[in-house]
Amino acid sequence: MKPIRTCAAFLVTGLVVAACDSPSPQFMSADTSVKKATVDGSTFSVHRRENWVEVYRTSFEALPRIPVILARAKTAIEQATGCKVVEGSLSGDQAIQRAEIDCG
């Protein structure tokens, strides 16, 4: 039974780590703000530094499509920052998105 317990422990640890929303090194400074936003059932953690954002989808969704998630991320960014996403700057996948914002 020990191998099963060990395997279960690693699986649980992996799931916990996968749920993290720690920012990349560029967003780990004192001048980075973090806000949560939910759009159509997708929850995002929006990390903002100057005119750039890094966004993490923290909600579980089975096989989400990238275009759907990117559209929701754009809305979440604009809700969380009060700024517009610069046309053509939004990129990413189902988990992490990045964009430039214009607050002018």
Only one residue has tokens 């530094």, namely 49
Q: Give the global pTM.
A: 0.76
Mean pLDDT of 46-50: 95
Phi, psi of 48, deg, nearest 5? -115, 135
82 contacts: CB under 8 Å, gap ≥ 6: 103
pLDDT score for 8: 60
> What are the extents of the domains in the chain?
2-102
Helix (H, G, I), strand (E, B) or coil at 21: coil
Only one residue has tokens 């400074």, namely 29
| Pairwise CA distance, residues 58 & 73, whole Å | 11
Asked if 97 and 55 touch (Cβ cutoff 8 Å), the reply is yes
Q: Would you say residue 17 has pLDDT above 50?
A: no
Q: Would you say residue 101 has pLDDT above 80?
A: yes
Percent of the chain with pLDDT over 70: 72
| Alpha-carbon torsion angle 16, 20, 25, 26, nearest 10 | 170
Q: Would you say residue 103 has pLDDT above 50?
A: yes
Asked if 90 and 99 touch (Cβ cutoff 8 Å), the reply is yes
